[in-house]
Amino acid sequence: MEAKEEISGDYIVGQPINIPGISLKLTTDSSFFDASALEAQFYFVILDDGSVNGYLNRNISVEIVNPEAHTVQIAFADFNPLKAQDIVNKIDTVYLQEKLAQKKEASDKSLRFLGEQTDVTNDKLQQAEDNLQSFARENKTYDVRGDAATVINKIADQEEKRQELLQRQSLLEDLSRLVEQDQITSNEDSTVAQSIPGLAELEDNRLMQEIEALNNQQWDLRRVLRSYKETTEAVKQRRVQLDFTKNTIRRLLDQNKELLQEQVNKMNRQRDELSAKLAGLPEKATQQARLQRPFELYEKTYVSLINRELEFRIGQAGTTADFQILSPASLPSAPISPVRAMVYAIGLAGGIVLGLGLIAVRYFLHDTVTNTRELERMTSAALLGVIPTYDKEKMTVSKLVVDKNPKSAISESIRSIRTNLDFIGSARKKRIISVTSTVSGEGKTFVTVNLGA
């Protein structure tokens, strides 16, 4: 607010008033305001910060009441008890608000920092997730180590199946050699399944039927040869059937061999692919671990920051000051200063001391004669009389006054001195009187003129 600037307005009691340079609110108090206050004029003295600080520093006092309980007492001295009470209560309130504001500011700064770090960590976490997703899309897997175990199991399973196929191939070779022989079973009562137990593993029913038929034809030919010669028609027909069956078996064996060989080749190719994949898995595992480490780190950090931020917000919601106001400022029933008994005692003591001092000073500085007794005591000359001061008129020169008022005190004193002089020098015939003093103006001429009248 500038000098000589006037701002006016109508406001309601209790309404906050905000004008340039000041904000205030007037409240009513029945003990302070009465009907006469409506006609009175009130004013505010607005001091600068330095004056306010000096005023507060001069009148405020803080005393430790109980060091163990960390209890302090705040007092304020002022000529107005209500003002002193309001100031102490306001100090408590402001200190409480300031402590809460400081804690809130510290929490806000921590929350801002946590928020910034959370955003940064979230961006890094998303980048790490994108890298892992790109790696998974490229390698079609999320778990390289698990894939390695899977590949090893697949290789073991395929190797087992491959060995089974090789055993079947070996069985087919044995069947090929056995078919070329003239006897499959050891006796006529034995079956092909009993003589060749592994034949069931081929899972080829037609082949088993043809071999069984070949075995029967061979034993039938042996029975016929025991009765007929080679040149007979019965033997020739059986030879022809036997050759046909062998050819059929050879074709079936060749087909099975080809199928088994294709399966073995397929197994070999799959084994090579799995072996190559297994050989590249360590590098992929290393790459995945390199991508997994920052992802796990950012994930843990992000979760930790979120939890920390939640803890700060919970703590901020329940923020309280680390001190407690035990009792508000009390309104004093009597002024603390001045203490009447003390003032009276000091006044009495001061009066006594000053009186004694004045007496001592006057005593030491006293150098005048104030009465006839002092004069008689201090001199050896006889005292003839005392002339009072003549103050009826102001005389520029000494003159005769005893003739004007013969009955006055001064005339009586002159006559008394004259009589005493007559008695002192009555025996002497020559009487000479000398009137003198230390300085001029002390009445030598006045006394001489009136004494000789």
What digits encode the pLDDT tens for the residues 230-272? Answer: 778 887 887 788 788 878 878 888 888 888 888 888 888 888 8
With b for 16 or more beta-carbon neighbours within 10 A and e for fewer, the 393-416 pattern comes to eeeeeeeebbeeeeeeebbebbee
Residue among 3, 40, 37, 39 at smallest CA distance from 20: 3
Question: What is residue 345's predicted lDDT score, i.e. its pLDDT?
Answer: 92
| Alpha-carbon span 286 to 307, nearest angstrom | 32
Please say whether the beta carbons of 44 and 1 come within 8 A.
no
3-class DSSP assignment, residue 429? coil
Question: What is residue 1's predicted lDDT score, i.e. its pLDDT?
Answer: 47
pLDDT of 25 > 60? The answer is yes
Half-sphere exposure of 151 (CA within 13 A, CB side): 20
What digits encode the pLDDT tens for the residues 78-99? Answer: 888 888 888 888 888 888 888 8
Statement: the pTM of the whole predicted model exceeds 0.85: no
| Alpha-carbon span 341 to 351, nearest angstrom | 15
Compute CA 274 distance to the chain's CA centroid, rounded to the nearest angstrom.
60
Any idea what DSSP says for residue 320? -
What digits encode the pLDDT tens for the residues 180-198? Answer: 776 676 666 666 666 676 6
| Arithmetic mean of pLDDT over the chain | 79
Question: What is residue 193's predicted lDDT score, i.e. its pLDDT?
Answer: 65
Average pLDDT for residues 410-421, to the nearest whole number? 84
Q: Which residue has the higher pLDDT, 306 or 190?
A: 306
Question: What is residue 197's predicted lDDT score, i.e. its pLDDT?
Answer: 62
Domain ranges of the chain: 1-77, 137-317, 339-368, 374-451
| Alpha-carbon span 336 to 342, nearest angstrom | 12
Q: Which residue has the higher pLDDT, 52 or 37?
A: 52
Cis peptide before 338 (omega within 30 of 0): yes
